[in-house]
Structure 1
């Protein structure tokens, strides 16, 4: 959140979720981080290799600041592309003015 307040428009989270935790949490967590911070989020995961001892979920993803999935893939090796429109961040932050409503007079600014 501090990075977003200071102008960050996207974060990339690497992850290697398993075949159990991936279906349950991967997309939900990426969408939640995008919504929490009103930024674009990319989740980068290794492709699945059934010959390896650990089977990654895969499903790299790009999510918009409203929590909408912009691009994703399955579990095969690939590149995920998405256009990031910075006006989307301005729009969501105007409509939900979270950053303007922060009460630093009550809660300390931990970024200092």
Structure 2
């Protein structure tokens, strides 16, 4: 592998890590106004600051859009890097230890946040 290919591989790995981290942070932010207080209350936390998380509700669509954009970029980079032909010595996927689980967890959180918003009015009526 040449130095140029190595630098390109490192850049893609950094982009994958950044997209996965952005997806996770966006997913946590998207669920922070509704699901996170419910989870904390279920686990027994009863602090007044849990109520302040509800103030983030108007920003939830922006958090969801950010998370979906990061997830889309992360999945695209992961798919692109897995399709590249590599030498036998470089056959290990570069970021599979962090990127794959992070993308899956972030996807589950975003889908749960969206489902919570859709199902909550149905459940409370």
Relative to the length of structure 2, the TM-score reads: 0.24
Greater Rg over alpha carbons, structure: 2
Q: Which has the higher helix share?
A: 2
- Structure with greater contact order relative to length (CA < 8 Å, sep ≥ 6): 2
